[in-house]
Structure 1
Amino acid sequence: MSLATDNPDQVALIGRRAMQAITGEAMNDILATVGSHSPQLAGNLVTHAFASVIADPALGHTTRELATITMLGAMGGCEGQLRTHLGFALDCGLAPEEIVACAEHVSVYAGYPRALTMLRIAREVLADHGEELCVAGPFHLRDHTTRLFDSGGDKPPMVLLHALGLDWRMWSRVIPLLVPHYRVIAYDLRGFGGASFAPQARDLAHYAEDVADLLDRLGQTRAHVTGLSLGGSIALELGLQRPDLVASLSVVAATAWSFPAFEERARAAETEGMEAQVIPSLTRWFRSNDLATNDWAVRYARNCVLRASVDDWSAAWRSLARVSLDGRLRDIEAPTRIIAGECDQSTPPSLMERLLVAPQCDFTVIPAAPHMVSLTHAEELGKAILTGNCDRTGSAPEF
């Protein structure tokens, strides 16, 4: 960036402002440490590195830190700076998932030794910052491979079913809240994430059969089941199909009824492609301030939509277009908690209240939450799930 001023004081102000945005309270210590040995380098950090380069809005702070940690990891021999910038990256809003993805990217272009060193340092920095990283691996179901997160242990199992278009990681901020009370199991539904290009789902019953297959392969005869959006509709279907498998249901931001928009969304992807689905999807899923902030939740959701297969996306919407659970809801035997987001445009509380016909059913509305409540209000959702299940597990949650 060519500065529009030759005024040294103005240049310094621009540089210090940009430096503070990245380094925060550490800025003065950094400049004092460098300046104690080289005032010239300290000055250049402000007037060149930050004022002339990093202050340029052509790249945002998060993007610059993403580039910085990737370059430092690939270069090698810069472990001290890498450690420092990993901390800055977290402070700028990079998520643990994005940092680990950078290390994986480094392995392709700079080799495994440097990628493994970067990953080791990243693990240490994440631990120092109290950041938890949930990790999934390949898992084989009857006719396809998926990705599975399984916290393990002998606690009561809880299966988490994700929304249409996303994958198991939409639960990654909720999982740490549930793990003290449950063996948490989350996986990619057929057609999404690690289960992309699996044989396409025929209907909700097909998805429910996958859950039954998963539990069987994990040696679980009964589980608490929590689902959001498409996942919530699958949870309802499973509760009707296989009541023997379901200890309780938590149905979040979901529908039991079909709407013409479902078929329209399938056709829109087929005629316009996935890029055209980003704006309508994200504006249904998030609030305007979420989109303006553009934190990990929004970046992750956008990437999921862009990378989805048109055929898988359309098959999932058509499964919802054929949903018809209304007359069967009274047959659900499991205790059921219905959870809605106050600001949800897709499945508002008024729609979710219509699900309150099961014999053992209660209702929670999470204030200010949009449709993708697991991504924007993870703590509140975790509390709602645990409050609905604590008397069924025999231990009250603690926050």
Structure 2
Amino acid sequence: MDTAPATATFTTRDGCALAYRDTGGQGIPLVLLHGWSQSQATFDRLLPLLRPERRVITYDMRNHGISGRTDNGARVATLAADLDQLLTHLGIGRAHLLGHSMGASVLWSHLELFGPDRVRSLVIVDQPVACTVLPWLDPADAAQFGAILDYDGAAAFARSMLLADAGKARHDFLTSMLTKDIPAQDLEWLYAQNLLLPMPWGARLLLDHVMQDWRDVPPRIPVPTLVIGGEVSHVAPASQAWTAAHTPDAELRILNREEGGAHFAFFESPREFADTLRDFLKRN
């Protein structure tokens, strides 16, 4: 396996140091965004399968991984602003952007706040456009686009991250997102990444994330988009089909069980995931 690129840092406009890695190289870069409570290290199995022909950039969002800790900014919109500042810092005019789970929400927020000028293509990995049946949503309709929590359940979910047995709640939640036969050492490594996210900041971010309704964003995305779901993911594959159907220039890929088709397919079965991603990027 190739050696991972060296880690560098840059400081956001509000003083938070973000850790990032840049493989270097020519052409339009690919920027990978991790999900809630994870880190850029979750992409380490994927990176060697994308190099050396492509410049790839990963980073730890604020309060995640080895990035700086801050009491402010526990909002998806702040994370979108951080992404925009990182692109500016690296002098990137346009990029392919991939977001996993909450990382996809950060991309939708970035498009809404900053527009599509910096986006060559978009890859949405296993994230519904709404996680919660919000008061203005009809439960039957919400099920079609992936809402899996009720309003009170969303608050209880965030609260569970603050209780005395929060460690168990975090471990159980992570386990629910993985295939049943994942090696124990892989599960515990992912859990260790999860524990790097401090509370209560993480709970505040989680609640902000699951309370978003992004349905109005996909229909206005003007760039090629790949939506990737998993056959055995806790995120219903039908929700990913909804997102693809409501994005003008989108295609859908549902990874099956043998392809690691749970929430962390790029970690559990990186080669199959890389094949799908490379094919999309070559065509765009």
Stretches of 4+ moved more than 4 A in 1? none
- The aligned counterpart of 1:156 is 28
- The aligned counterpart of 1:314 is 203
Contact 1:263 1:317 in 2 (8 A): no
- The aligned counterpart of 1:224 is 96
- The aligned counterpart of 1:211 is 83
Q: CA deviation at 1:173?
A: 0.8
- The aligned counterpart of 1:258 is 131
CA distance in 2, matches of 1:273, 1:137: 35
Contact 1:178 1:386 in 2 (8 A): yes
RMSD after superposition: 1.8
Q: CA deviation at 1:325?
A: 0.8
Contact 2:74 2:201 in 1 (8 A): no
- Deviation string for 1:178-236 (max 9, x for gaps)? 22332111000112112252243343222111111100011111111001101112122
Could you tell me the TM-score, scaled by structure 1's length?
0.61
- The aligned counterpart of 1:138 is 9
- Equivalenced residue count is 259
CA distance in 1, matches of 2:279, 2:154: 32
Contact 1:190 1:199 in 2 (8 A): no
- The aligned counterpart of 1:354 is 242
**In the alignment, structure 1 residue 365 sits paired with structure 2 residue 254:** yes
**In the alignment, structure 1 residue 281 sits paired with structure 2 residue 173:** yes
Q: CA deviation at 1:256?
A: 1.3
CA distance in 2, matches of 1:383, 1:314: 35
Alignment of 1:46-61 (within 5 A): none
CA distance in 2, matches of 1:308, 1:202: 12
Q: CA deviation at 1:268?
A: 0.5
Q: CA deviation at 1:270?
A: 1.6
- The aligned counterpart of 1:58 is none
CA distance in 2, matches of 1:172, 1:276: 26
Q: CA deviation at 1:262?
A: 3.9
Contact 2:174 2:191 in 1 (8 A): yes
CA distance in 1, matches of 2:199, 2:99: 23
- The aligned counterpart of 1:294 is 184
Letter in 1 for 2:170: V
CA distance in 2, matches of 1:220, 1:138: 16
CA distance in 2, matches of 1:314, 1:196: 17
**In the alignment, structure 1 residue 344 sits paired with structure 2 residue 233:** yes
Gaps of 5+ in 2: 133-149
Of 381-390 and 137-146, deviating more is 137-146
CA distance in 1, matches of 2:177, 2:128: 15
Letter in 2 for 1:205: A
SS of the equivalent of 2:9 reads: strand
Q: CA deviation at 1:134?
A: 4.6
- Deviation string for 1:72-114 (max 9, x for gaps)? xxxxxxxxxxxxxxxxxxxxxxxxxxxxxxxxxxxxxxxxxxx
> Percent identity between the aligned chains?
22
Q: CA deviation at 1:328?
A: 2.8
**Which one scores higher on RCO, CA 8 angstroms, separation ≥ 6?**
2
Contact 2:123 2:225 in 1 (8 A): yes
- The aligned counterpart of 1:171 is 43
Letter in 1 for 2:8: G
Summarize the Cα distance change of 1:179–1:141 in structure 2 as closer, same or farther, 3 Å threshold.
farther
CA distance in 2, matches of 1:374, 1:142: 32
Q: CA deviation at 1:312?
A: 2.6
- The aligned counterpart of 1:36 is none
Contact 2:98 2:123 in 1 (8 A): yes
Could you tell me the TM-score, scaled by structure 2's length?
0.85
- The aligned counterpart of 2:213 is 324
- Deviation string for 1:357-393 (max 9, x for gaps)? 111000001111211112101111111111111122x
**In the alignment, structure 1 residue 305 sits paired with structure 2 residue 194:** yes
CA distance in 2, matches of 1:312, 1:179: 35
Q: CA deviation at 1:308?
A: 2.6
- The aligned counterpart of 2:69 is 197
- The aligned counterpart of 1:233 is 105
Gaps of 5+ in 1: 1-129, 393-399
Contact 1:145 1:198 in 2 (8 A): no
